[in-house]
Every structure is written in structure tokens, then in C-alpha cells.
Amino acid sequence: MYKIYGDSCCDLPLSYATERNINLVPLSYTVDGTEYSDDGKNVDNIKLLYDKMREGKLTNTSQPTQDELYSIFEASAEKNEELIYMTLSSGISATYNSACLMLNKCLEVYPDAKISVIDSLCASGGYGLLMQRIADNRDNGMPYEEAVEWIKKYRHNVIHWFTVEDLEYLRRGGRVSKAKATITGVLNIKPVMHVDENGFLVATGIARGRKNSLKELVKNALEDIESYEDESYMQSVYINHADSYEDAVMCRDLMLGCSKIKSITINSIGPTIGCHSGPGTIAIFCFGNKRERDK
């Protein structure tokens, strides 16, 4: 049975990842000069992070070191194990590039190693949803080579819809301009955003006020779910939040009547993603036909 690895910012609870035999590689983050591991072992750290961000404290994130990645690949190569390492979207992080470099280095020593590094093109709960599906496939007997091709084929079908409470955090990361962040804040305009085909965060629309932005997320997600061409798949929907549980519950309740949804799981947005999106972020993840909509 092949091993599945992913970055901790797939935002799956550690208990679930352990239960499903999904190995999470921890990233790290810094809050006001103090470094923490995004390993999911201390859930109180997430609340602490968002409280500090609201106070205006500076945050930063770091990917796994190349030595850490090489050690993972080398250990599997020495044991002749099959391994899939699916990384955070290359549109958000450089982890994919680092992992590819270390895989190539490993293959120079172990040319017959069966190790695949795949760019998920996903983030947060969308990334976690894809991890769940590949764990399901593995546990249902899908062979290693087929599993690798499945990910490459269906990763674009993972749909991300999200909104943020304050664009200032995305501005700090260089993802929106200062002028745009200021204007939207003054006018109480909330962005409706998604992750595009190349794994980048992009804005698709705006809504006046917080509740309207949440309703727009739900509307878009339900349209994707209802129109999904794979009618045999009953949707497992993930709703992730950055210290905004009540809003996540509101979104869940608005989606409960959909007959194509099997389950709706509410999880936290972990520190790695939360450092960039900020407290109050809400995101809905599901499977759909395509990320880009016809204009």
C-alpha cells in the first residue's frame, strides 16, 4: 500500500489524518517574532494567532526545509515503498518546486524509487478534500500508478469559494493593492474569490456586506454541486473558517437541503493559510465541473 503525504496546510484535523493514514509535513509560521510549527498538535495556537493578527502583530510562514523533504523521500526509497507527496498549490507556495528538486536528488541515488510529487493546485480545505479522495481511492484498492493519474485528472475539479473579512491581510502578502484594500474597507465591500486553474487566488466578484458575501459563496458552491457531471458522487463538502465558526454554521445551514451532499464538515483554516487570509475568512470547498465559469 502506497504512502500519502501532504502539507499540514491542507487543514485536515490531525486526528482525521492519523485515522486515514495521511502523513502531514508541518510548515511553520511566525507571530510577532516567535516561530511555531503548523503541526496541528496545539489547537489553541490557532486562536492565539488570530487574536494576535487582530492586534496588528506581524506574521510570516515558512515551507518545509529541503533536508526535511529529502529525508522523507530517502526513507521510502530505501524501503522500496511507493509514495505520493501532494503539495500545496504552486500558485501560493514554493513547496512544490523544493519537493521536485529533492525528488530529483533522491532519484540520482535511488533511480528505481516509486515516488511522485504532485502539485495539488489547491489550498486549505480544497487541498484537504483532495487528500480525502485520494485516501479513499487507496483504501478502495486503486493502484499507485492509477492514483497518480487520478489526482492529475481531477485536481482541477476541486472548487474553492471564499471571502475575507479584511483585505489588509492579503495586501500585506502582495495579493491585492493598498488602494483596493482601503476602498473596499471604507465601502464595506467584501470580495468573492476562488482558486483558478493554475492554483492562484483571484477575485471573481464583490458583495455589499458580510452576510451577502457568505450567501454568494453558498450560491456559487451549490451551483457547482448541482451541475457536477459525476452524478454518482455524493458530495463531501468542507467549510473552513478562520475564527468565525458562527458564519461557517450559517453557510452549512444554507446548504443542508441539497440532495447531492452527503456530508458537510466544518474545520478551521490553519495558521499557514490564515496568516495570509486573516481572521474572519470563510471558504467552501466541493467538486465541480471546472473552476473557470463562462462569462
Least confident of 56-70, 80-94, 125-139, 177-191: 177-191
**In the predicted model, is pLDDT for residue 186 greater than 80?**
no
**In the predicted model, is pLDDT for residue 29 greater than 70?**
yes
Question: How does the average pLDDT of the chain come out, rounded?
Answer: 91
What is the pLDDT at residue 173? Answer: 53
Mean pLDDT within 173-199? 63
What is the pLDDT at residue 189? Answer: 75
**In the predicted model, is pLDDT for residue 177 greater than 70?**
no
CATH superfamily of 3-26+64-155: Dihydroxyacetone kinase; domain 1 (3.40.50.10440)
What is the pLDDT at residue 180? Answer: 43
Is the CATH code 3.40.630.10 the one for domain 157-287?
Answer: no
User: Which pLDDT band, with edges at 50, 70 and 90, does 202 fall under?
Assistant: confident
Report d(CA 131, CA 129) in Å as an integer. Answer: 5
What is the pLDDT at residue 188? Answer: 66
| pLDDT tens-digit readout, 250-274 | 999 999 999 999 999 999 999 999 9
Report d(CA 12, CA 123) in Å as an integer. Answer: 11
What residue ranges do the domains of the chain occupy? 3-26+64-155, 157-287
What is the pLDDT at residue 170? Answer: 67
User: What contacts 16, CB < 8 A, 6 or more positions away?
Assistant: 22
Mean pLDDT within 30-53? 90
Phi, psi of 278 (to 5 degrees): 90, 160
What is the pLDDT at residue 295? Answer: 47
Cell 484535523 found at: 13
Question: Which of the two residues, 216 and 231, has the higher pLDDT score?
Answer: 216
State the DSSP string of 14-54: HHHHHHTTEEEE-EEEEETTEEEEESSS-THHHHHHHHHHH
Q: 284, 10, 288, 286: which is closest to 157 by C-alpha?
A: 288
| pLDDT tens-digit readout, 94-133 | 999 999 999 999 999 999 999 999 999 999 999 999 999 9
